[in-house]
């Protein structure tokens, strides 16, 4: 099968399209023929791990896993003898949590892992662009105990996690202020934000407003900067472990606090949450936001674009053309 392979760390050019062995399905697995996947910041962070401690997970000297990619949508081509949930021909989507491997034509998934039948109102491209950002956002909002009476500010509302957070916060009934750049104001508002703020023109920390939750979806601000914009019992949530040590320190110092605190939730990447997202999608309450589409042969170009940090929503890789 064809796959994007990397055997050493470095720039996007370390990614090479190669023919590799097709995975063999185990008794409890399904073999998925992948139609679409994505490139996201996790892929970039493992391809060129910085800071250095990321290598504790990815491999100290060279990568442990040679095929990146977590999100996927495709068709079940083969099932193991013990599989009960799926059959050949089923359209599926999900997240390869531990093994990556979706930047390829085929992937094996345990039937009890983060995989489910595709929403009936999505294309392969759209379904592939759901689980990573939405799973992170969902875990963070649940950890912050977001309620309908809450005011939430989402910083970085136009990325994969941010566009997911806006839609999920709307689903929960919260009052949403979204912060993004000029070009994305309208699309973020269309996703459900009650107010939108252009960070290139206005600093939300100086407008006197306070929030129950401030959700830093892109790692471009800090708890210290946002502290005065939190209500007395407000919560600051960040998704970034690697670069904002100040935030990590605040998380540790405020973990037991009953007043202002900082949280760094880890995503809960399970089948149950994939099914939850599918339900919301089929209710018409969530849609995938896709910025650009590339072929697998263009994965270097796609990765370079993701690393500009200017993408809106998701960057999709089409492995096989299909609706």
User: Which pLDDT score is estimated for 52?
Assistant: 79
- pLDDT at residue 289 tops 70: yes
Q: Where residue 252 falls among pLDDT bands split at 50, 70, 90? A: low
User: Is residue 154 within a helix (H) or strand (E), and if so which, with residue range?
Assistant: strand 151-155
User: Which pLDDT score is estimated for 250?
Assistant: 63
Closest CA to 28 of 86, 81, 98: 81
- pLDDT at residue 249 tops 80: no
Q: Where residue 114 falls among pLDDT bands split at 50, 70, 90? A: very high
Burial class (CB in 10 A: 0-12, 13-18, 19+), 188: buried
- pLDDT at residue 245 tops 80: no
**Per-chain mean pLDDT for the chain:** 93
Q: 153-200, pLDDT tens digit by residue?
A: 999 999 999 999 999 999 999 999 999 999 999 999 999 999 999 999
Q: Where residue 243 falls among pLDDT bands split at 50, 70, 90? A: very low
Q: 10-23, pLDDT tens digit by residue?
A: 999 999 999 999 99
Q: Who has greater pLDDT, 239 or 270?
A: 270
Task: State the pTM of this model.
Answer: 0.93
**% of the chain at pLDDT higher than 90:** 84
- Could you give the domains of the chain? 2-130+288-318 (3.90.180.10), 133-263 (3.40.50.720)
> What sign does the dihedral 240-310-99-11 (CA atoms) show?
negative
Q: Where residue 323 falls among pLDDT bands split at 50, 70, 90? A: very low
Mean pLDDT for the stretch of residues 26-39:
98
Q: Where residue 80 falls among pLDDT bands split at 50, 70, 90? A: very high
DSSP letters for 234-285 = EEEEE---SS-HHHHHHHHHHTT-SSSEEE-PPP---HHHHHHHHHHHHTTS
DSSP letters for 207-226 = S---EEEEEESSS-S-HHHH
- pLDDT at residue 222 tops 90: no
- pLDDT at residue 225 tops 90: no
- pLDDT at residue 145 tops 50: yes
Task: Tell me how crowded residue 243 is: count the other CB atoms within 10 A of its CB.
Answer: 12
């Amino acid at each position: 099968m064809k796959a994007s392979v990397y055997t050493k760390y470095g720039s996007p050019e370390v990614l090479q399209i190669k023919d590799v062995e097709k995975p063999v399905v185990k008794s409890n697995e399904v073999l998925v023929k992948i139609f679409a996947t994505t490139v996201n910041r996790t892929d970039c962070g493992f391809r060129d791990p910085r800071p250095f401690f990321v290598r504790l997970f990815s491999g100290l000297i060279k990568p442990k896993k040679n095929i990146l990619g977590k999100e996927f949508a495709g068709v079940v081509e083969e099932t193991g003898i013990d599989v009960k949930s799926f059959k050949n021909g089923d359209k599926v989507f999900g997240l390869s949590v531990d093994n990556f491997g979706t930047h390829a034509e085929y992937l094996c998934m345990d039937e009890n892992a983060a995989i489910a039948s595709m929403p009936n109102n999505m294309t392969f491209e759209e379904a592939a662009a759901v689980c990573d950002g939405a799973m992170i956002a969902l875990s963070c909002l649940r950890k912050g105990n977001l309620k309908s009476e809450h005011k939430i500010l989402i910083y970085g509302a136009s990325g994969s996690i941010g566009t997911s957070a806006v839609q999920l916060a709307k689903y929960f009934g919260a009052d949403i202020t979204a912060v993004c750049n000029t070009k994305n104001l309208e699309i973020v508002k269309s996703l459900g934000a009650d107010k939108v703020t252009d960070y290139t023109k206005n600093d939300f920390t100086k407008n006197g407003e306070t929030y129950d939750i401030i959700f830093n979806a892109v790692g471009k601000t800090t708890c210290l900067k946002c502290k005065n914009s939190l209500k007395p019992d407000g919560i600051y949530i960040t998704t970034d472990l690697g670069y904002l040590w100040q935030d990590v320190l605040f998380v540790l110092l405020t973990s037991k606090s009953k007043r202002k605190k900082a949280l760094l939730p880890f995503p809960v990447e399970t089948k149950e949450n994939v099914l939850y997202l599918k339900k919301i999608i089929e209710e018409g309450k969530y849609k995938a936001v896709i910025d650009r589409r590339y072929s697998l042969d263009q994965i270097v170009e796609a990765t370079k674009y993701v690393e500009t940090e200017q993408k809106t929503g998701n960057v999709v890789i089409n492995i096989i053309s299909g609706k």
